[in-house]
C-alpha cells in the first residue's frame, strides 16, 4: 500500500479543441513547481494512476495527466 503524505488539490480540466479531460494534482505551496505530464496508455485510465500521481505530488511536482 502506498503512503501518501499531506493534503492535495485535485482539479479536473478539459484542454484543447477536443476538450480532452485531464486531472491536475498539486500541494498548496508557494513558488514555481516542476511539472510532470503522464499518459496512461490505450487500455488504462487516468483514475488508475492516482497513487503514482500523488507520490509525485509528495515530491513537489505539479502533475497533469490525460
Q: What is the pLDDT of residues 6-59, one digit of tens each?
A: 777 788 889 889 988 888 877 777 677 777 777 777 787 777 787 777 777 777
Kindly give the pairing relationship between strand 62-65 and strand 35-38: parallel
**What's the burial of 13, exposed, middle or buried (CB within 10 Å: 0-12/13-18/19+)?**
exposed
- Report how far residue 8's alpha carbon sits from residue 63's, in angstroms, rounded to the nearest whole number: 11
Domain ranges of the chain: 9-65
Strand partners for 54: none
Global pTM?
0.57
Amino acid at each position: 500500500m502506498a503512503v501518501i503524505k499531506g493534503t492535495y488539490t485535485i482539479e479536473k480540466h478539459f484542454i484543447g479543441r477536443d476538450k480532452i479531460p485531464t486531472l491536475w494534482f498539486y500541494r498548496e505551496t508557494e513558488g514555481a513547481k516542476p511539472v510532470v505530464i503522464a499518459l496512461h496508455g490505450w487500455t488504462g485510465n487516468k483514475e488508475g494512476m492516482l497513487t503514482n500521481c500523488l507520490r509525485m505530488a509528495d515530491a513537489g511536482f505539479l502533475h497533469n495527466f490525460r
